């Protein structure tokens, strides 16, 4: 198949719409189920590049949860502890495969943003992973292949209309890419830059102790940023992104957004949140909304007439002091930035979310002040000398 006609483009009024390879080659994908749309394919192709690169860099199965051409989460297949399994709503599924762990992490990092996601998997989708996908609200999945039983599980989703795409893992695009904007064609070389441990060799802070696990988290954050709409900042810990700030015009707003998501991820693990007792039959999405409202400043979920619809027992208020005390236990977080930090306010905000390891390009006229601030907190900061803008 050399081209695939789509229902419409970004919006229903944008017709005609199709995908094809400019040089006339066969498309590297097969639609096994459903009818993916323009944005579905944008998410699928960006997400596939991300997980393929994560797998190559770490040797571990990788997954990402995409929404509107930016990842809501990305992770590699490290095992889940009991707390993570509970906050990701997979504690009832028994032992999970490494690929399933990767997707549970990617989906669970920011469950609000992942609602209705498009999934990318680095490896053949197995039954364990398909069972997680089956129970979540999602638009589709792309992977290099599917186990027969896993494919049947996915085909039954959304009344048989779930989008399932298989991609040729050996497909290699042309080195020059094109994009049309306002009837004008832009041309550039593809961003084929490989992100690996060598990128972390220039440590500019006094503290130069960079453990192997921190290197993995920094690599995850940088590869995630490579496929995130800029400006962007990514917090990572334990083999997964825990907060992604995408598409902000100001660097510090990226850091604040990513940091707030990382804080939310940490607060979900607090015993006060884990002990919430939901009424029987309340769906995962409604539980996620209630938890976010409970953690945040919106306490409608505790108002009379509301809490009885959500909780079996009315929870006590989660005070600012309690939240801060719990967040102070978050340590050894890694942070990547797709361009240099122009001011030290980014470091100050990162510190509030437990950041200890930083990778950023460097090159600001205020690099000395940024390094000084990192030194104040004993952080380890690498200058990568490589910008990772993505538009």
Q: Is 391 considered catalytic here? A: yes
What is the rounded CA–CA span in Å between residue 108 and residue 265? 8
User: Are 158 and 82 part of one and the same domain?
Assistant: yes
Whether 162 is covered by a domain: the verdict is yes
> Has 289 been annotated as catalytic?
no
Catalytic residue, from 68, 158, 253, 323: name it. Answer: 68
* Residue 302 in this model has a pLDDT that exceeds 90: no
Q: Determine which of 14-28, 194-208, 212-226 has the lowest per-residue pLDDT on average.
A: 14-28
Asked if 70 and 189 sit in the same domain, the reply is no
Please give the residue range of the domain that contains residue 209.
Answer: 177-267+327-383
285 plus 361 within the same structural domain:
no
Same domain, 162 and 213: no
* 27 and 71 assigned to the same domain: yes
Whether 183 and 163 share a structural domain: no
pLDDT bracket for residue 45 (50, 70, 90):
very high
The pLDDT of 52-63, averaged and rounded, is 97
Question: Could you tell me which of 186, 88, 203, 179 has the C-alpha nearest to residue 136?
Answer: 88
Q: What percent of the chain has pLDDT over 70?
A: 100
Residue 155 in domain: yes
Q: Which of 262-276, 299-313, 343-357 has the lowest mean pLDDT?
A: 299-313
CB within 8 Å of 248: residues ≥ 6 apart: 231, 232, 254, 257
On the question of pLDDT at 303 being above 90, the answer is no
Q: What percent of the chain has pLDDT over 90?
A: 95
Q: Is residue 172 a contact partner of residue 190, using CB atoms and an 8 Å limit?
A: no
pLDDT score, position 66: 96
Within a domain: 322:
no
Residue 157: predicted pLDDT: 96
Residue 390 forms part of a structural domain: no
Strand partners, 189: 176
Q: Are 213 and 357 in the same domain?
A: yes
Please check the confidence at residue 158 and state whether its pLDDT lies above 90.
Answer: yes
Contact 125, 150 (CB under 8 A): yes
Show the tokens assigned to 240.
């997964």
- Tell me: do 236 and 181 sit in the same domain: yes
pLDDT of residue 102: 98
User: Is it true that the peptide bond before 231 is cis, omega within 30 degrees of 0?
Assistant: yes
| Strand-strand pairing, 176-181 and 184-189 | antiparallel
Say whether both 33 and 96 belong to one domain.
yes
Let me know whether 344 and 204 are in one domain: yes
The pLDDT assigned to 24 comes to: 78
The average confidence (pLDDT) of the chain is 95
Of 147, 172, 197, which residue sits at a domain end? 172
CATH number, domain at 262? 3.40.140.20
CB 19 within 8 A of CB 6: yes
CA 215, CA 196: separation in Å to the nearest integer? 9
- Secondary structure letter of residue 343 according to DSSP: S
pLDDT band at 167 (very low <50, low <70, confident <90, very high): very high
Nearest to 337 by CA among 358, 365, 363: 358
Cβ density class 147-170: b for 16+ within 10 Å, e for less: eeebbebbbebeeeebbbbbbeee
Domain CATH for 312: 1.10.287
SS (H, E, C) 60-117: CCEEEEEECCEEEEEEECCCCCHHHHHHCCCCCCCCCCHHHHHHHHHHHCCHHHHCCE
Domain membership of residue 391 (yes or no) is no
H/E element, 127: helix 127-135
- Alpha-carbon distance of 326 to 272, in angstroms, equals 10
pLDDT band at 1 (very low <50, low <70, confident <90, very high): confident
Q: Residue 22: pLDDT band by 50, 70, 90 thresholds? A: confident
* Residue 199 domain-assigned (yes or no): yes
> Which helix (H) or strand (E) element contains residue 38?
helix 38-58
Position 243 scores a pLDDT of: 97
Say which residue the tokens 């399932």 belong to. 164
Q: Is 390 a catalytic residue?
A: no
Q: Which residues contact 324 (CB under 8 A, 6 or more apart)?
A: none
303 & 233 share domain: no
| 172, 207, 233 - which closes a domain | 172
Give the residue-averaged pLDDT of 145-155: 98
Whether residue 362 is contained in a domain is answered as: yes
Q: Give the span between the Cα atoms of 90 and 93, in whole angstroms.
A: 6
Catalytic position from the list 52, 55, 67, 226: 67
- 232-265 pLDDT tens trace: 999 999 999 999 999 999 999 999 999 999 999 9
How many domains is the chain built from?
3
Q: What average pLDDT does the segment 176-184 reach?
A: 93
Catalytic residue, chosen from 33, 40, 46, 231, is 231
Which pLDDT score is estimated for 32? 98
Q: Has residue 23 been placed in a domain?
A: yes
Residue 298 has pLDDT above 80, yes or no: no
Q: How many CB atoms lie within 10 A of CB 305?
A: 6
Residue where a domain terminates, one of 112, 141, 172: 172
> Are 293 and 221 contained in the same domain?
no
Active site residue 253: no
């Amino acid at each position: 198949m050399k081209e695939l006609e789509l229902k419409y483009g970004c919006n229903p009024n944008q017709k005609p719409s199709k995908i094809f390879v400019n040089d006339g080659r066969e498309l590297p994908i097969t639609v096994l189920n459903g009818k993916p749309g323009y944005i579905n394919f944008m998410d699928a192709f960006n997400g596939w590049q991300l997980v393929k690169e994560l797998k190559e860099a770490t040797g571990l199965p990788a997954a990402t949860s995409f929404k509107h051409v930016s990842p809501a989460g990305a992770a590699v297949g490290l095992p889940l502890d009991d707390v993570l399994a509970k906050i990701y709503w997979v504690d009832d599924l028994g032992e999970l495969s490494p690929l399933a762990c990767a997707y549970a992490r990617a989906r669970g990092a920011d469950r609000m943003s992942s609602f209705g996601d498009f999934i990318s998997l680095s490896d053949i989708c197995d039954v364990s992973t398909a069972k997680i996908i089956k129970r979540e609200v999602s638009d589709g999945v792309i992977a290099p292949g599917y186990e027969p039983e896993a494919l049947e599980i996915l085909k039954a989703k959304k009344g048989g209309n779930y989008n399932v795409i298989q991609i040729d893992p050996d497909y290699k695009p042309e080195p020059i890419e094109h994009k049309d904007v306002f009837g004008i064609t832009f041309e550039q070389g593809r961003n084929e830059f490989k992100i690996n441990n060598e990128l972390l060799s220039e440590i500019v802070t006094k503290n130069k102790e960079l453990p192997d696990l921190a290197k993995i988290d920094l690599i995850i954050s940088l590869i995630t940023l490579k496929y995130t709409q800029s400006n962007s900042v990514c917090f990572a810990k334990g083999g997964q992104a825990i907060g992604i700030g995408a598409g902000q015009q100001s660097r510090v707003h990226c850091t604040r957004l990513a940091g707030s998501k990382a804080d939310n991820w940490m607060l979900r693990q607090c015993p006060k949140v884990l002990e919430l007792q939901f009424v029987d039959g309340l769906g995962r999405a409604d539980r996620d909304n209630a938890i976010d409202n409970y953690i945040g400043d919106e306490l409608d979920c505790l108002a009379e007439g509301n809490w009885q619809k959500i909780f079996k027992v009315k929870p006590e208020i989660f005070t600012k002091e309690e939240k801060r005390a719990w967040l102070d236990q978050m340590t050894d977080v890694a942070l990547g930035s797709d361009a240099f930090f122009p001011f030290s306010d980014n470091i100050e905000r990162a510190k509030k979310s437990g950041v200890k390891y930083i990778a950023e390009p460097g090159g600001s006229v205020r690099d000395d002040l940024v390094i000084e601030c990192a030194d104040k907190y004993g952080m380890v900061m690498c200058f990568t000398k490589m910008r990772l803008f993505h538009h």
